[in-house]
Structure 1
Amino acid sequence: MHGGPRYMNRRSFITSTGALLASRSLHALPIQKKQREAIPVGKADHSLRIEPCTLEIGPGVTIKTLAYNRQVPGPLLRLRTGVPVTIDVFNASPNADLVHWHGLAIDSLNDGAMEEGSPMIPAGSMYRYTFTPKPAGTRWYHTHASAYEDLSAGTYSGQFGFLLVEGKEQPAQYDQEINLAIHHWEPSFVPMVQMMREHSSNMPLTAGSDVGYKYATINSHMLGTGEPIRVKQGQRVLMRLLNASATENVVLALPGHSFRIIAMDGNPVPNPRPVELLSLAVAERIDAIVEMDAPGIWVLGSILEKERQMGLGIVVEYAERTGSPVWKDPPADEWDYTQFANVVEAPKPDETFVLTFRDSGPLHGSKFDTWTINNKSWPDIEPLTVQQGKRYRMVFRNGSGDQHPIHLHRHTFEVTRIGSKQMSGLMKDVINVMPLDTVEVDFVANNPGDTLLHCHQQLHMDFGFMQLIKYSG
């Protein structure tokens, strides 16, 4: 156990508060509890079990982790927008945990974030989540537990899965749908200076530690192992891609093909268009239509050779084609959110919050950097206060050399400016803020209850990069 009072206080807060909330809930019950009168009535629509499992991600490469129902990704959950659902979560792991339903506009109690008041599920207990899913689109579910220096916990583990909320309208015409989740495995701490030098030669170097990985997978297999994606010439394939990594942003390509992006974070984009590269920050999702018009055996994978060697890729195999999978480096290009948005200016907000992100270096004897929002970090940071029905603009100023995928719980925001480019219409729940850049997003306060704002990189979130939004009245 490391660190000084700040981390001890937060860890104690998580343990004691989570256990107290769980013990007070009628739904957080020991699996073997005999008091049947407190058990939720009737069978749930879905059931998840948090438990240890062993994955063989490649020949002779096995991973021991926690997962849902002993599979990675967890079971695909298909829900209908506006139709109430119950999901029983059994915690058969050694520690208290909980599930966050990422991208849904639901109540704070069921959202699955302890900071908002969602109960932790003690080891050996069950909790029934009850909510009405909305909006429609590609969402996902994952643990929202802290990890700190335990790199087997939190989103370092295999606790993630796709959650598809189906609406009345079909997003696009397609012949086949494929869900692909990216994850990195066997993490270890490395000096922050080393990581910064590997990613950029002109960013300011910081002290402390970062996380590096040994392996990477798409779904549960490394590149070249497991079943390929099998397609036929002329097919239109809907690919749903999810970056379920704890800390790693990725850029992908499929040689000979383009991705027509139709949705981001599950929300239709105003300007669907084809691109050669897909950039996915931690927790982002992209829905893309791929026209299968280049017969062969191809590698869909990271544009970085080092990451493909770690396993970050999957083989795409056309019918009646044989041979070794082919990789070709794509043309150099820069990812630009604005190309999928409208160029007209967004409506003026009722109020603006300016939030500057920085790291304060290792504090209190810790080997990890503490992250701050306006020079304060969780839990010693005042909440933002909003009024129901008003439109708020958040100006994210990244004063650090790291990328930050910023996630807003229980709401969808509109991206209104990136750097000097104004925009509108692009609706997301995660936005990647590049080093030393500024991004502006607007949200309408239309879902009362405590709401968490945080960087989705596990290491940053664990060490201060969080803030609550509270509704007044």
Structure 2
Amino acid sequence: MLASRSLYAALPSQVKQDKSSFAGKADHAIRIEPCTLEISPGVNIQTLAYNGQVPGPLLRLREGVPVTIDVTNSSQNADLVHWHGLAIDSLNDGAMEEGSPMIAVGETHRYSFTPKPSGTRWYHTHAAAYDNLAMGTYTGQFGFLLIEGREQPARYDKEINLAIHHWGPSFVPMVETMREQSSNMPLTTGSDVGYKYATINSHRLGAGEPIRVKHGERVLMRLLNASATENVVLALPGHKFTIMAMDGNPVPNPKSVEVLSLAVAERVDAIVEMNSPGVWVLGSTLAKEREMGLGIVIEYAGKTGTPMWTDPAPEIWDYTQFANASASPHTPDEIFELTFRDFGPKPGSKFDTWTINKRSWPDIDPLMVQQGKRYRLVFRNGSGDQHPMHLHRHTFEVTRIGKTKISGLMKDVINVMPLDTVEVEFVANNPGDTLMHCHQQLHMDYGFMQLIKYSV
């Protein structure tokens, strides 16, 4: 554990912001504070949250309109907020690896930026947790960040924001347990985190109010996987999800599916046509996860009774169905080949160390890019785990999944399956230090990160 803490020793620490920068009242205010969350009758979670609620306050911002957000740290540890999916400067991005300052206990920090691009983004803590599973994204520090542009993704009658989270984390050494209750389905043995409970928004399945709909409504569901380490697979029996956007970006080929997959940090905007009256469960396709609470009741007007669930037909999640079937017409200026592997735990640690090309953060050289050029990142997963790869401050185009070439699918998180290869390309159009990492908290804490730096 002592060795693990050294990973962040050379990074910006608890910086007090010059109060002269606090000109006038901020547009929004967020407080990081302890919260007791009753996720079902008699089941209380002690966690950290934003403004005492989970998810945190819904932030609706206008694309291109400057905004200020004051964040006050009323917790017991330094922390910071990452504005996930925004093309903003490194200082305000909210990642200490890029130079964003940690917010000291009792201090208020003002974030100032111009939000872009439009779409479903989110905000969350970017603090390390290591083996303290009451820190980082294991907590309730997350919220929806909707950047409104000129165009709507589709016509709809009602919008619903649904954030998935897992609670009660603990060390789980046996992969067999993970296979029973997790959609991650690791191929190899090793250390991992398991959970007691799961929620959609602030309640377990059957607790809280149902989502009430009317026959014939078109409902826009914004779904966010805000879990620390758990990927999820969801279904709503009797209905289909028409996928309109991924990670806030419109997909080239909107398509209806019965089952959708959300890796950690991914978002999906889907239109669901309410054409099957009844009382249904929207939830995990795994019975064990539904028992943990991963679901919510959908109730049609005038309908009562026990919520219904039927198992969907087995379906393999395929990103390529939402993309153009043609290869990207662009040629990258440079290609970076990156191989991910698990090298087991270091002495004194419960959890495994992760490497990119046999190097772990912070002992890893940055990838150097030049402004205006196009780069291909070849993600080679040499491990038995799934890895949701996230690129800060940029949006990338997915250009290959396995052997299939595609184009037009723009994302900021892509899930790389065990022993698979995925290729993405991005344009270096936002100068400043940029972090790339696996979004599983457990993996990034133990080395799975690398910086991209712009050449001067």
What range is the shorter-chain TM-score in? over 0.9
Write the distance in 2 (CA, Å) between the matches of 1:341 and 1:225: 37
Equivalent position of 1:8 in the other structure: 5
1:271 aligns with 2:271: no
Write the distance in 2 (CA, Å) between the matches of 1:195 and 1:374: 30
Which of 14, 18, 22 lines up with 1:26 in the alignment? 18
Which of 206, 221, 225 lines up with 1:239 in the alignment? 221
Equivalent position of 2:62 in the other structure: 80
Q: How far 1:205 moved relative to its partner?
A: 2.5
Q: How far 1:26 moved relative to its partner?
A: 1.4
Distance 1:200 1:213, change over 3 A: closer
Q: How far 1:11 moved relative to its partner?
A: 4.1
1:152 aligns with 2:134: yes
Q: 1:374-397: per-residue Cα shift (whole Å, max 9, x none)?
A: 000000000000000000000000
Equivalent position of 1:52 in the other structure: 34
- The one-letter amino acid paired with 2:424 is V
Which of 332, 354, 359 lines up with 1:376 in the alignment? 359
Q: How far 1:197 moved relative to its partner?
A: 5.1
Q: Is the 8 A contact 1:89 1:128 kept in 2?
A: yes
Equivalent position of 1:418 in the other structure: 401
Write the distance in 1 (CA, Å) between the matches of 2:55 and 2:294: 15
Equivalent position of 1:35 in the other structure: none
Q: How far 1:365 moved relative to its partner?
A: 3.4
- The one-letter amino acid paired with 1:293 is N
- The one-letter amino acid paired with 1:8 is R
Q: 1:2-22: per-residue Cα shift (whole Å, max 9, x none)?
A: 253xx23224335xx312xx1
Equivalent position of 1:339 in the other structure: 321
What is the root-mean-square deviation in Å for CA atoms of aligned residues?
Answer: 1.4
Q: How far 1:203 moved relative to its partner?
A: 6.2
Instruction: Output aligned runs, 1:312-391, within 5 Å.
Output: 312-346=294-328, 347-391=330-374
SS of match in other structure, 1:356: strand
Equivalent position of 2:94 in the other structure: 112
Q: 1:181-223: per-residue Cα shift (whole Å, max 9, x none)?
A: 000001000105445654699965243x210000000000000
Total equivalences in the alignment: 454
Equivalent position of 1:31 in the other structure: none
Q: 1:255-310: per-residue Cα shift (whole Å, max 9, x none)?
A: 00000000000000000010000100000000000000000000000000000000
Q: Is the 8 A contact 1:196 1:205 kept in 2?
A: no
Q: 1:84-117: per-residue Cα shift (whole Å, max 9, x none)?
A: 0000000000100000000000000000000000
Write the distance in 2 (CA, Å) between the matches of 1:340 and 1:222: 31
SS of match in other structure, 1:18: coil
Write the distance in 1 (CA, Å) between the matches of 2:188 and 2:21: 53
Write the distance in 1 (CA, Å) between the matches of 2:164 and 2:348: 34
Which of 398, 404, 408 lines up with 2:391 in the alignment? 408
Q: Is the 8 A contact 1:96 1:121 kept in 2?
A: yes
Write the distance in 2 (CA, Å) between the matches of 1:321 and 1:167: 37
1:441 aligns with 2:404: no
Equivalent position of 2:75 in the other structure: 93
Distance 1:201 1:47, change over 3 A: closer
SS of match in other structure, 1:13: coil
Q: Is the 8 A contact 1:195 1:210 kept in 2?
A: no
Q: Is the 8 A contact 1:392 1:445 kept in 2?
A: yes
- The one-letter amino acid paired with 1:55 is L
- The one-letter amino acid paired with 2:427 is V
- The one-letter amino acid paired with 1:385 is M
Q: How far 1:364 moved relative to its partner?
A: 2.8
Write the distance in 2 (CA, Å) between the matches of 1:197 and 1:323: 32
- 5+ long unaligned stretches in structure 2: none
Q: Is the 8 A contact 1:3 1:364 kept in 2?
A: no
- 5+ long unaligned stretches in structure 1: 28-37
SS of match in other structure, 1:309: helix
Q: How far 1:171 moved relative to its partner?
A: 1.1
Distance 1:163 1:73, change over 3 A: same
Write the distance in 2 (CA, Å) between the matches of 1:186 and 1:457: 16
Distance 1:433 1:253, change over 3 A: same
Q: Is the 8 A contact 1:55 1:220 kept in 2?
A: yes
